[in-house]
A and B are shown apart, each in its own frame.
Chain A
């Protein structure tokens, strides 16, 4: 009987034959090996990120200490070491924590309001054409207005300074959440709605069990974007504030020409914004577990 050539190769090469007979060492626990590899891969990526920041900070230090003035002027810009000293000093004063706490509270209230109203109105818009036609003109006109432009009206129309600030922060978070919800809800697969109906589901059950879960990936993306824009708008809102808030702190430092404080304020907003956006992602991740690894960038 003729033997396929591939099989014959073993008989000529004893090493090859042996390697086929016995599994390679370490092959017994492929799970552990794969996990280690992944970990090393992740570690490598974080190292790269750290290195990237380090290079940026060093460049900043060199540019400001040498007072480079080429297109961008670094002569009056405080270097990272000076900024760090000011930051360490601020960490010792409890007024700085009050600023941060005020801002966090405003963000929390505004973001919660934006989530409830954005998802609620967005779901209604996505589900009912009448609601969509009634609300869309307002969304289209109001959405492009920047947060700063709302300051006069917010002061005029809202009872307290605090509520005006929260309102302006809310506006920033509201639109991305609303629009993503409308898009997500509009993409509900028809088949799933029909299946639910034929299993005895009414409108409310379909909204809760089919439409909202199906829109969840889009909604969570909207939440993450909304959180970022909320911080962005917070500074505009806190320009009203006569007292506290990290945005107010930054604005105040600008009026007093305290450059290191300005940079501390900016970096704080950036850091807290990133942190809270990450928190939103973490909080919504369990809701998206059903997507498995079929979604996301290919390795």
Chain B
């Protein structure tokens, strides 16, 4: 199956209309540390993280499990306030969650009691559109992810991949300037994941919004990202910022290109070192 049939890429007329609505956001993470106080004392999840993301960039946060990459993403979303340092989007301090930053979670977080269409229409409704306008927009975004036929289904009737596509459509329907994704394809099987990755790139190239994508999968990070930020084992620090100069649009053939393999080797080396550290931490 090609990308076109999985997520129908809009025609040029549509995409121009979409682009007018979306401007990528500039993300500035300045010396952010995040601590949680738990039963075993204070746990430092993120340590002195600083990061600049240009508007329209696709950045992957790569790190071993439990390194605090999701916590850092949650601070971008406004779910978690940094203990010190600041997170800014377009020069504005992030204090609360808001519709300018769309979030796609690891496990689908669709409202089970709303149909697929109502789920996608939720954001526009909250933005003050009336029901008719919201549902109209929901239909357009469902069409974009190729799920028009399922608009009246409830989430539990869909496969895992379809649920995540609805989740992406729902996040995009607010025209967010930044799309935050927390291992969104982690629970999918390998084939579906590969499809979803290509589809996501196709969508991103249409929207041009900034994407911050958290993953622990090196292939995924290098295939998707224009930049791969590698995080250390807990407490999470940003230890490498690797540019991925592979041309776009990318297709699966790139996975065997020598440049891809070279970057992957670098990432794997870093990740292996950190994973060993993380392993020693939890088992030592």
Contact = CB atoms under 8 A, between A and B. Distances in A.
The judgment on whether A and B are partners is: yes
A198 interface: yes
A200 interface: yes
A205 B111 CA distance: 13
Interface string A178-218: 00000000000101101111111110010001100110100
| Residues of B in contact with A, size category | 20 to 34
Contacts of A199: 99, 122-123, 126, 170-171, 174
Contacts of A291: 112, 156
Most buried by A among B96, B99, B102, B109: B109
Nearest to B126: A200
A290 interface: yes
A197 B97 contact: yes
A205 B122 CA distance: 10
Contacts of B154: 289-290, 292
Most buried by B among A194, A196, A199, A289: A199
A129 interface: no
A35 interface: no
| Residues of A in contact with B, size category | 20 to 34
B114 interface: yes
Nearest to A288: B113
Contact of B127 (A200, A213, A216): A200
A197 B100 CA distance: 11
Interface string B136-156: 000000000000000000101
Contacts of A197: 79, 96-97
A125 to B, nearest CB: 22
B170 A194 contact: no
B48 interface: no
Nearest to B101: A198
Contacts of A216: 113
Contacts of B171: 198-199
A20 interface: no
A197 B97 CA distance: 6
B109 A290 contact: no
B77 interface: yes
B107 interface: yes
B157 A194 contact: no
B156 A294 contact: yes
Contacts of B114: 209, 213, 290
A195 B105 contact: yes
Interface of A: 189, 191-192, 194-202, 205, 209-210, 213-214, 216, 289-292, 294
5 contacts: A194-B97, A197-B79, A198-B77, A200-B126, A200-B127
Given A197-B79, A202-B126, A216-B113, 4 more contacts: A195-B110, A198-B78, A200-B98, A200-B127
Task: Please give me the 6 A-B residue pairs with the lowest Cβ-Cβ distance, nearest first.
Answer: A200-B99, A200-B126, A197-B97, A199-B123, A195-B109, A213-B113
